[in-house]
Structure 1
Amino acid sequence: TCLEKAEKHRHVEKDVLIPVIMRDRAKELCSDKVQAFTKCCKETGFLMVVKCRKENTALKDCLVGYYSDPSFYEECKTEYLKQREEYRATGIKKKKQKITSNI
């Protein structure tokens, strides 16, 4: 039914589409930790699991901090709704771009 389709769409928005925006924004906001972890991995090769623990922990802590922040979720939800509204008005899907934050 129409109601079931709407409920499924809301589920996809809440559990998939908004988290994608959250992930992208969090990666950007944690970019210094992403770069440090990437650099460590490139320098240590197969030993990265052992030698890059500090960088990996710092990166995880940064990302999880954003993922678990209700206000960050609301910001990303607002961004998603804005993109959805623009798509519905124009029929043109917005290209992925870097998103800046005022956090």
Structure 2
Amino acid sequence: MDSGKSEPFLRHVEKDVLIPKIMREKARVLCSDKVEAFTKCCQDSGLLMVVKCRNENAALKECLTLHYTNPTFYEECKQEYLKEREEFQRTGIPSKKRQQNVANSM
């Protein structure tokens, strides 16, 4: 049953901090309509936002939780992280720095 392909080793910080960070960033993009609605409600409500924005907050939490608890989404983010890690190990340049260099060269 073993396909001969071993699972890459992930350190605690990678599993519990770095991959979840990618998940949060991607989930916020996928839930951008809910983020925008909650942000607008908060800006329009001032100090009463806790009371006035309950529905928007609940919708945002529901959308984010849907992604955070999805094993397929976790696996996608893990693969993205592993690809970035491999590229860093190959080049020694963090992905954000590589993206900046590409943007500056245009």
Pick the TM interval, shorter chain: 0.7 to 0.9
Q: CA deviation at 1:59?
A: 0.2
Instruction: Give the TM-score normalised by the residue count of structure 1.
Output: 0.84
* Aligned-pair Cα RMSD in Å: 1.6
Alignment partner, residue 54 of structure 1: 55
Number of residue pairs matched by the alignment: 90
Alignment partner, residue 64 of structure 1: 65
1:17-37 residue CA offsets vs partner (Å, 9 max, x unmatched): 000000000000000000000
Q: CA deviation at 1:43?
A: 0.1
Alignment partner, residue 101 of structure 1: none
Alignment partner, residue 45 of structure 2: 44
Alignment partner, residue 79 of structure 1: 80
Q: CA deviation at 1:46?
A: 0.5
Alignment partner, residue 25 of structure 2: 24
* 5+ residue gaps, structure 1: 1-6, 98-103
Instruction: Give the TM-score normalised by the residue count of structure 2.
Output: 0.81
Whole-Å Cα distance in 2 between the matches of residues 91 and 31 of structure 1?
33
Whole-Å Cα distance in 2 between the matches of residues 55 and 73 of structure 1?
25
In our comparison, the structure showing a higher alpha carbon Rg is 2
Alignment partner, residue 3 of structure 1: none
Alignment partner, residue 94 of structure 1: 95
Which aligned segments of 4 or more residues in structure 1 are displaced greater than 6 angstroms?
Answer: none
Counterpart amino acid of residue 29 in structure 1: L
**Higher RCO structure (Cα 8 Å, ≥6 apart):** 1
